[in-house]
Amino acid sequence: MATPCQDDPSHRSCIPISFALFILATKLVIIMKNSNCPTGLAARLQSLALGSLFALSLHAGDWAQWRGPHRDGVSAEKGLLSSWPKEGPPLLWQVADLGAGYSTPAVVGDRLYLLGNEGLENESVQARSAKDGRRLWSVRIGNVGNPKQDPNYPAARSTPTVEGKMLYALGSDGDLVCLETATGKERWRKSLRADFGGLPGVWAYAESPLLDGDKLICTPGGTNATLVALNKNTGAVIWRCAVPGGDEATYSSAIIVEAGGGRQYVQFLAKGLVGVEAKSGKFLWRYEKTAVGSPAVILTPIAEKDLIYSGAYRAGGGLVKLKVTNGAVEPEQIYFSPKLPIGLGGVVKAGDYFYGSTSQAYLCVEFASGAVKWEERTAPAASCFADGRLYLHAENGEVALVEPSPEGYHEQGRFAPPEQPKRANQMEKAWAYPVIANGRLYIRDVGKLWCYDVKARR
Instruction: Identify the pLDDT of residue 277.
Output: 98
Q: At what angle do helices 14-34 and 39-51 cross, to 10 degrees?
A: 170
Strand arrangement, sheet containing 372-377: 347-350, 353-357, 361-366, 372-377
For 328, other C-beta atoms within 10 Å of its C-beta total 11
For 9, 105, 154, 160, 368, the CA distances from 157, given in Å and listed in that order, are 26, 11, 9, 10, 32
Instruction: Identify the pLDDT of residue 34.
Output: 52
**Running DSSP on this structure, what letter comes out for residue 86?**
T
437 Cβ contact partners less than 8 Å away, ≥ 6 residues apart: 61, 62, 63, 75, 77, 107, 112, 130
Q: Is the Cβ–Cβ distance between 211 and 168 less than 8 Å?
A: yes
Same domain for 268 and 140, yes or no, is: yes
Give the integer Cα–Cα distance in Å for 52 and 48. 6
Instruction: Identify the pLDDT of residue 10.
Output: 39
* Residue in 102, 129, 100, 104 with CA at minimum distance from that of residue 114: 104
Q: Is 439 left (phi over 0), alpha (psi -120 to 50) or beta?
A: left
For 28, 73, 360, 444, the CA distances from 397, given in Å and listed in that order, are 49, 19, 16, 10
- Judge whether 245 lies within some domain: yes
Same domain for 222 and 364, yes or no, is: yes
Same domain for 368 and 400, yes or no, is: yes
Instruction: Identify the pLDDT of residue 261.
Output: 87
Q: Which regions of the chain are under pLDDT 50?
A: 1-33, 39-48, 50-57
Instruction: Identify the pLDDT of residue 335.
Output: 98
Q: Which domain holds residue 51?
A: 1-57
pTM reported for the whole predicted model: 0.89
For 244, other C-beta atoms within 10 Å of its C-beta total 11
Same domain for 205 and 113, yes or no, is: yes
Amino acid present at 396: N
Same domain for 42 and 166, yes or no, is: no
Would you call the peptide bond into 151 cis, given omega within 30 degrees of 0 as the criterion?
A: yes
Query: Residues of 38-52 as b/e, b for ≥16 C-beta within 10 angstroms?
Result: eeeebebebbebbbe
Instruction: Identify the pLDDT of residue 21.
Output: 46
Which residues sit opposite 206 in a β-bridge? none
- Judge whether 156 lies within some domain: yes
Instruction: Identify the pLDDT of residue 204.
Output: 97
Same domain for 44 and 81, yes or no, is: no
Give the number of C-alpha atoms closer than 13 A to the C-alpha of residue 362, restricted to the C-beta side.
Answer: 25
Instruction: Identify the pLDDT of residue 59.
Output: 65
Length of the chain, in residues: 458
Tell me the per-residue pLDDT of 241-254, one tens digit each, with 9 for 90 and over. 999 999 999 999 99
φ and ψ of 392, to 5 deg: -115, 135
Same domain for 20 and 81, yes or no, is: no
Same domain for 186 and 229, yes or no, is: yes
Same domain for 123 and 17, yes or no, is: no
**Cβ neighbourhood burial of 9 (10 Å; 0-12, 13-18, 19+):** middle
Determine which helix (DSSP H) or strand (DSSP E) holds 328, and give its type and residue range.
Answer: strand 328-337
Same domain for 20 and 99, yes or no, is: no
Give the integer Cα–Cα distance in Å for 344 and 431. 7
Instruction: Identify the pLDDT of residue 358.
Output: 96
CA angle 225, 231, 234 (to 5 degrees): 115
- Judge whether 281 lies within some domain: no
Decide the pairing of beta strands 381-386 and 74-75: parallel
- Judge whether 30 lies within some domain: yes
Q: Is the Cβ–Cβ distance between 227 and 241 less than 8 Å?
A: yes
- Judge whether 415 lies within some domain: yes
- Judge whether 305 lies within some domain: no
- Judge whether 336 lies within some domain: no
Same domain for 147 and 200, yes or no, is: yes
- Judge whether 295 lies within some domain: no
Total tally of structural domains belonging to the chain: 2
Same domain for 5 and 120, yes or no, is: no
